[in-house]
Amino acid sequence: MNEATDPYCLRPGESHELLADHLWRRFVVLGDSVAEGLCEPVDGYSDLQWADRIASELCAVRPDLEYLNLGVSGLRTREILSTQLEPALVFGPDLALVVGGGNDAFPATYDADRVDRELTLMITTLQDSGADVMTLGMFDISYSPAVADWLRPGLRQRMRTLSNRTAALADKLNTIHIPLTDHPLSTDPTLYSTDGRHGNARSDAIATAETLRVLGRRLKAPHQKSPS
């Protein structure tokens, strides 16, 4: 199997069909390694990482789109907030992707309330500046074969908590939410890289397809309730 035949990836011409009506001109990405992109190669799949692929597909429709990726591997939400929000606002985005919490949820010291507050501040500040904001429910890394067995139960619970709470924030704040945690392949160990903390090129291809489909649905239903 390769990306062209993978039933979970984009079909030929699907991206342009989904994004044909988009008007975004300035796309910024804030986050950790998921945002920065640590894409372990898989034969038959593009090596272009997830956020870059989103930007590429948006540019295919609007070649004048400008793109800034501020993601840095290893950051927790408080560090994303303190180092990336200001330059993101200076960039003046009309579309933003905020990815955070994975590094917070990996250890048992995960403080879900604090992560919620920090994500909320980034989301609402970007929205107040005029940007549509995307959020992410991550693939569940606890299914990676590189994660030690004794770590799996606690990590799985924390990743589920992060996913559920981020989804609740997305609903409350009216973000464009990409729910990958319950994707049919989230439990497939072949989707993850050998470092036990990230996905591989196939996971990025699948995440790209899911992201563009969510964007396409939002474009077809533009009149959304205001964030509360």
All structural domains of the chain with their residue ranges: 14-220
Percent of the chain with pLDDT over 90: 88
pLDDT at residue 228 is higher than 80: no
Arithmetic mean of pLDDT, 180-195: 92
Task: Please state, in angstroms and rounded to a whole number, the distance separating the CA atoms of residues 99 and 119.
Answer: 9
- Mean pLDDT for the stretch of residues 192-218: 92
Tell me the per-residue pLDDT of 106-157, one tens digit each, with 9 for 90 and over: 999 999 999 999 999 999 999 999 999 999 999 999 999 888 999 999 999 9
Q: Per the structure block, which two tokens stand in for 49?
A: 């990482």
> Is there a contact between 142 and 152 (Cβ–Cβ < 8 Å)?
yes
Q: What's the pLDDT tens digit per position in 153-180?
A: 999 999 999 999 999 999 999 999 999 9
The residues facing 124 across adjacent strands are none
Angle at 49 between CA 186 and CA 67, to 5 degrees: 125
pLDDT tens-place string over residues 52-68: 999 999 999 999 999 99
Selection from 165, 194, 200 nearest residue 179 by Cα: 165
| 88: nearest Cα among 31, 165, 157 | 31
Amino acid 223: pLDDT: 56
Cα(228)–Cα(224) distance, integer angstroms = 12
Q: For the whole model, what pTM was predicted?
A: 0.94
pLDDT digits (tens, 9 = 90+) for 34-51: 999 888 899 999 999 999
Whole-angstrom CA distances from 147 to 110, 133, 180, 182 are 18, 31, 19, 19
Span between the terminal Cα atoms of the chain, in Å:
44
Helices 50-61 and 201-220, interaxial angle, to 10°?
A: 40
The CATH code that applies to domain 14-220 is 3.40.50.1110
Return the pLDDT at 38: 81
* Distance (Å, whole) CA 37 – CA 73: 8
